[in-house]
Structure 1
């Protein structure tokens, strides 16, 4: 794997850059300094809320590009690069479908805040890991502000319980199993690949100059835009199959392992 031409490094957060305790390693921040020194652009791409990603990467948040909400929203140094709202009228259709699923917790995701219902109040302690800013509101059906995504959490398995209930929306929306407990519904163009393509075009960076790390199905589109697509050893089988390369698990520093090898060439 010749990484000497890399100009752009993109990594997912949960299950990839973050360990199982949702932490970023000190080693990564040291490696990031070397990336910047060599004029290599860094992008954090996640299903998380913008504020949550920025908090995890606080020391470098003002220097990097952040792709949030699975590609529906992207920001660089306070400048909005991508904003792709959920199509009007779809929210309540999705909520109606989810009403028949036991233990499903839908969250309406705006660019600045997330919204959950009174019935999901006990879910707040888990939500706080992924959303730094949120409000509990009386009725999600009555909410009429712009949202970029509906995220749905299930305690046991999103793929088993949530996805079957909402897969019928795939003809109109982007429906992604984005983690063991999460399914995200958004605009058809609201995915990490769409946002990454915009960044590549803005900077004139090719797939051959792009290194991408991922672990779940919501990473597939952005991995297809990189010659150097790397799956974590803990990745979903779909990602392991799609990626051109594989690294260690997120708890073994798989991202850092590849970055160290790459930086030996600079």
Structure 2
């Protein structure tokens, strides 16, 4: 494995860079400064809200690129590079479909603010971890903000209870199981692979110059773009099939150990 040509590192957040306590290690921040000195770009790519991502990476937020909401929003410092919203009509029809699923809770994700309805308040502490800036609406159809993602929460298993009810809509919308409790619905062109592809064009990067880490199905498209794609030890089986290499678990400094190898190269 020749890592000497790497010019950009891209990592998912939950289950990848973040440990099970939703924390970024001090070890990573030390490695980031070394990567920066070598001119290697860093991109955080997550299904999380933009504000939630930069809260986790606050000390370095001015020096990174952020792919938020599964690729529906890309931002570098104060510059918004890409935004891919859902149409209002599609948003409303998806909300109607979600209301028919027992145990499903929909969150509307604007570019910089999320919107919950009153039915989601029992799970508010769980939701606050992922959505740092939010409002509660009685009726989500009343939200006028531009919506880039609908996140659907189930307190048992999103893959078992939500995805089977939504997968027949994949010709209209990107349907991604993004975690144990979450299915994300985006514009068909809004995914991490599309966003990373735009960044690779912007910075004139080829596949052998990009290193990508992921653990869940919303990472598949971006993993496929890189010659150096790493599935976490704790990754979904489909991710392990797609990624070319493996990393340790997110609770065992899996990303950090590979970055140390990159710096040695």
Question: TM-score interval w.r.t. the shorter chain?
Answer: over 0.9
Output the CA distance in 2 between the equivalents of 1:88 and 1:138.
Answer: 18
Unaligned runs of 5+ in 2: none
What does 1:1-266 align with in structure 2 at a 5 Å threshold? 1-265=1-265
Output the CA distance in 1 between the equivalents of 2:238 and 2:112.
Answer: 32
CA-based RMSD:
0.8
Output the CA distance in 2 between the equivalents of 1:203 and 1:156.
Answer: 41
Output the CA distance in 2 between the equivalents of 1:100 and 1:248.
Answer: 39
Shift of 1:29: 0.3
Output the CA distance in 2 between the equivalents of 1:254 and 1:260.
Answer: 10
What SS does the corresponding residue of 1:121 show, helix, strand or coil? helix
Output the CA distance in 2 between the equivalents of 1:89 and 1:166.
Answer: 17
Question: 1:19-78 deviations in whole A, cap 9, x for unaligned?
Answer: 000000000000000100000000000000000000000110111000000000011011
Q: Which stretch shows the higher mean deviation, 204-213 or 117-126?
A: 117-126
Q: How many residues matched?
A: 265
Shift of 1:94: 1.1
> Structure 1 stretches (4+) deviating beyond 3 angstroms?
none
Output the CA distance in 1 between the equivalents of 2:144 and 2:22.
Answer: 32
Output the CA distance in 1 between the equivalents of 2:35 and 2:205.
Answer: 16
Output the CA distance in 2 between the equivalents of 1:196 and 1:212.
Answer: 10
